Amino acid sequence: MAADYDAIIIGAGISGMYQLHRLRGLGLAVRVFEAGNGVGGTWYWNRYPGARFDSESWTYGYSFSDEILREWEWSEHFAAQPETLRYCNFVADKLDLRRDIEFNCRIRAAIYDDAAGEWEIESEDGRRARARFLITAIGPLSAPTMPSIPGVGTFRGEAYHTGLWPHEPVSFEGKRVGVIGTGATAVQAITEIAKTVGQLTVFQRTPNWCAPLHNSPIDAATQARIKATYAEIFTRCRGTFGCFIHDADPRKALEVSPEEREALFEKLYREPGFGIWMGNFRDVLVNEEANATITEFMRRKIRERVKDPAVAAKLIPTNHGFGTRRVPLESGYYEVYNQPNVRLVDLRDTPIERITPAGIKTSDAEYELDMIVYATGFDAITGAFDRIDIRGWDGRRLRDKWAHGPRTFLGLQVEGFPNLLTLVGPHNAATFCNIPRCIEQNVDWVTALIAYMRERGFSRVEPTPEAEREWLEHVYDTGRRMLFTQVDSWMMGINSNLPGKNKRTFIVYAGGAPRYREKCEEAVAGGYAGFTFR
Ligand code: NAP
């Protein structure tokens, strides 16, 4: 049977859309299969109240098209989800992407046919297609997980997971709403829900260190300046660790005076975005003593903002330092707890025993609720892969190969799985990045690889076992120096709701985007060193 397409892409989010555009540019026949009913990926699914960027909008959009940069205008420095979804649709229209995308099509299996040198995919509703290349664009945080609490299905009120939020408006007015979770999603949702809710109860297991977002509208003069300086903006992003606009301060926290330290912390706390995380002294994310200085500063800020000292104490993390988990950026989150109709339940003191038909029962009380919002996160990075039965040559399963942690080369290819290319896959810099910046790099690299193969008449590529081994070592070596690898979070593959996800595992790449890019370029310069072609 002849292949239906040259390439199949799974997912029509930010990476799948751009990959489709680039492969069309090579003249390839490409089909995208997307589970949702529209483009946008993360921005299609995460419609929860308060969802918005934590990267500056003008650093987040695609950089490859001058026309898109010229025509699109972000209204705020940190755009909200509806605007970002409009942006994705704008790009899809502009590039006429939809004619090659099959929507409402969730892929359940992808099997490599060694004899034919083709991948065959099968959707949940039985659709099948074949192609030489299979490109996963399935996102790092796209497999939502419900809490493994007994009785979840028994609740009689409204219940929503933030990552599967309804498309219709949801009203909180006059309702008793319970939110489980206090990660970046919950912090945004809680702040928004608190504006109209009747009574809000937050069920917190682990508090996070949250920092102010300081969002604001973009005025006409700023808009003009942004448009005139896009080239510089993207060049700056390329040079920073996570491709954000913020770059680490060259000084070390431990080498300056307490006054100088305080001055930078205070300045960053007042400024928009991730400066306080990514633009801080260069030792705060790698040295415990340095980290303790910013952690103490943040502790003070929480105490200043939350009126009731007992509530403030519950909101202060005690098991990790600032920035060792992804920092939720907030817009009045701490002040929510000063509202008389908001209460905080500390699950470390009183764990949830079960969800009941009427609400949530902890070890000391039953909270009657009209609505439960599950802001309980995702099976991060490898989760979306695990949900597809991916089999390489000899029938080997990706799930089995990654059972004790992912193994890849450059986070883009896996030995034993020829012609499978994993955009934003595990051990790829895109997992720790202002994501479109790294996505563009990933997609450009994959496009160049496919072009190279066509020029030379190669039909099959996979990494060597040695290249994979060396990459794993590099991922561990660069990761180990970061304090976040000593803390439980999704960035270390921890998910308390899933069996087998309780052991810290390196799933992200923490060597920084510039170093990652260098490694990708080195492979190309060496004639695609580390890959074998046929
Ligand atoms: P998350 O960081 O994994 O947070 C999940 C929350 O649910 C945690 O507070 C967790 O508590 C809690 N939880 C999970 N299971 C529970 C259970 N059984 N009982 C009680 N509590 C439970 O997920 P997320 O908030 O969706 O964020 C994930 C990532 O998405 C972020 O780190 C960020 O990278 C990205 N994000 C970005 C933005 C943005 O501004 N652009 C917004 C939202 C999310 P424990 O910590 O105790 O496990």
What separation in Å is there between the alpha carbon of 375 and the centre of ligand 1? 6
Q: Which atom of ligand 1 has the smallest separation from the CA of 329?
A: 40
Query: How many residues does this entry show for the chain?
Result: 534
Is the Cβ–Cβ distance between 16 and 141 less than 8 Å?
no
The residue written with tokens 């005076």 in the block is 257
Structure tokens at 26: 């090579």
Count other C-beta atoms under 10 Å from residue 232's C-beta: 9
pLDDT in tens, 395-418: 999 999 999 999 999 999 999 999
| Burial zone of 460 (CB within 10 Å; 0-12 exposed, 13-18 middle, 19+ buried) | middle
What separation in Å is there between the alpha carbon of 210 and the centre of ligand 1? 12
pLDDT in tens, 158-168: 999 999 999 99
3-state secondary structure of 173: strand
Is the Cβ–Cβ distance between 510 and 482 less than 8 Å?
yes
User: Which DSSP string corresponds to 318-361?
Assistant: SSS-TTSSPPPEESSHHHHTTSTTEEEEETTTS-EEEE-SSEEE
Provide the pLDDT for residue 1.
52
Output the average pLDDT for the chain: 98
Nearby residues of 333 by Cβ (< 8 Å), 6 or more positions away? 187, 190, 191, 210
* pLDDT for 102 beyond 80: yes
Q: Which atom of ligand 1 has the smallest separation from the CA of 141?
A: 30
What separation in Å is there between the alpha carbon of 211 and the centre of ligand 1? 15
CA distance 431 to 413: 15
Q: Which atom of ligand 1 has the smallest separation from the CA of 147?
A: 18
Site to probe by mutation for ligand 1, drawn from 81, 205, 329, 434 as the one with most ligand atoms within 8 Å of Cβ, is 205
The set of long-range contacts for 91-100, using a CB threshold of 8 Å and a minimum separation of 24, is 91/17, 91/39, 91/62, 92/12, 92/17, 92/39, 94/65, 94/67, 94/68, 95/17, 95/21, 97/12, 97/17, 97/20, 97/21, 97/32, 97/39, 98/39, 100/20, 100/24, 100/30, 100/31, 100/32
Provide the pLDDT for residue 159.
98
pLDDT band for position 43 (cuts 50, 70, 90): very high
Spell out the alpha helix ranges (H) of 461-510: 465-480
| Burial zone of 44 (CB within 10 Å; 0-12 exposed, 13-18 middle, 19+ buried) | buried
pLDDT band for position 150 (cuts 50, 70, 90): very high
Going by CA atoms, what residue is nearest to atom 4 of ligand 1? 183
| This prediction's pTM | 0.98
Strand partners, 371: 158, 177
In the predicted model, what is the mean pLDDT of residues 332-359?
A: 98
In the predicted model, what is the mean pLDDT of residues 510-520?
A: 98
Output DSSP code: residue 182.
-
Output DSSP code: residue 392.
-
CA distance 509 to 317: 25
Q: Which atom of ligand 1 has the smallest separation from the CA of 375?
A: 7
Provide the pLDDT for residue 321.
98
| Burial zone of 100 (CB within 10 Å; 0-12 exposed, 13-18 middle, 19+ buried) | middle
How far from the centroid of its chain's Cα atoms is residue 111's Cα?
Answer: 27
The residue written with tokens 């994501």 in the block is 435
Q: What percent of the chain has pLDDT over 90?
A: 99
What separation in Å is there between the alpha carbon of 409 and the centre of ligand 1? 28
* Residue whose C-alpha is closest to residue 103's, from 17, 28, 2: 17
Going by CA atoms, what residue is nearest to atom 46 of ligand 1? 206
Phi then psi dihedrals of residue 441, to 5 deg: -65, -45
Is the Cβ–Cβ distance between 219 and 226 less than 8 Å?
no
In the predicted model, what is the mean pLDDT of residues 54-65?
A: 98
What separation in Å is there between the alpha carbon of 380 and the centre of ligand 1? 10
CA distance 287 to 484: 11
The residue written with tokens 């000899």 in the block is 394
Site to probe by mutation for ligand 1, drawn from 14, 185, 373, 374 as the one with most ligand atoms within 8 Å of Cβ, is 185
What separation in Å is there between the alpha carbon of 203 and the centre of ligand 1? 12
Q: Which atom of ligand 1 has the smallest separation from the CA of 490?
A: 3
What separation in Å is there between the alpha carbon of 386 and the centre of ligand 1? 20
Going by CA atoms, what residue is nearest to atom 17 of ligand 1? 147
CA distance 508 to 244: 17
Q: Which atom of ligand 1 has the smallest separation from the CA of 55?
A: 41
* pLDDT for 455 beyond 60: yes
* Residue whose C-alpha is closest to residue 375's, from 507, 232, 530, 185: 185
pLDDT in tens, 220-260: 999 999 999 999 999 999 999 999 999 999 999 999 999 99
What separation in Å is there between the alpha carbon of 181 and the centre of ligand 1? 6
pLDDT in tens, 433-450: 999 999 999 999 999 999
Output DSSP code: residue 129.
E
The residue written with tokens 């950089």 in the block is 63
pLDDT in tens, 196-228: 999 999 999 999 999 999 999 999 999 999 999
Is the Cβ–Cβ distance between 259 and 242 less than 8 Å?
no
Ramachandran region, residue 27 (left: φ > 0; alpha: ψ -120 to 50; beta: rest): left
Q: Which atom of ligand 1 has the smallest separation from the CA of 494?
A: 48
Residue 29 carries which side chain, given as an amino acid letter? Answer: A
Pocket of ligand 1 (CB under 6 A): 53-54, 141, 147-149, 180-186, 188, 205-206, 326, 329, 347, 352, 375-377, 490, 496-497
Phi then psi dihedrals of residue 147, to 5 deg: -70, 145
* pLDDT for 315 beyond 80: yes
* pLDDT for 135 beyond 80: yes
Could you tell me the sign of the dihedral formed by the alpha carbons of 41, 46, 52, 54, in that order?
A: negative
Site to probe by mutation for ligand 1, drawn from 45, 160, 355, 376 as the one with most ligand atoms within 8 Å of Cβ, is 376
Q: What percent of the chain has pLDDT over 70?
A: 100
Provide the pLDDT for residue 524.
98
Ramachandran region, residue 319 (left: φ > 0; alpha: ψ -120 to 50; beta: rest): alpha
What separation in Å is there between the alpha carbon of 112 and the centre of ligand 1? 34
* pLDDT for 2 beyond 80: no
CA distances from 124 to 39, 108, 166, 413 (A): 19, 5, 21, 25
Structure tokens at 149: 């609490």
Is the Cβ–Cβ distance between 230 and 69 less than 8 Å?
yes
Site to probe by mutation for ligand 1, drawn from 347, 490, 491 as the one with most ligand atoms within 8 Å of Cβ, is 490
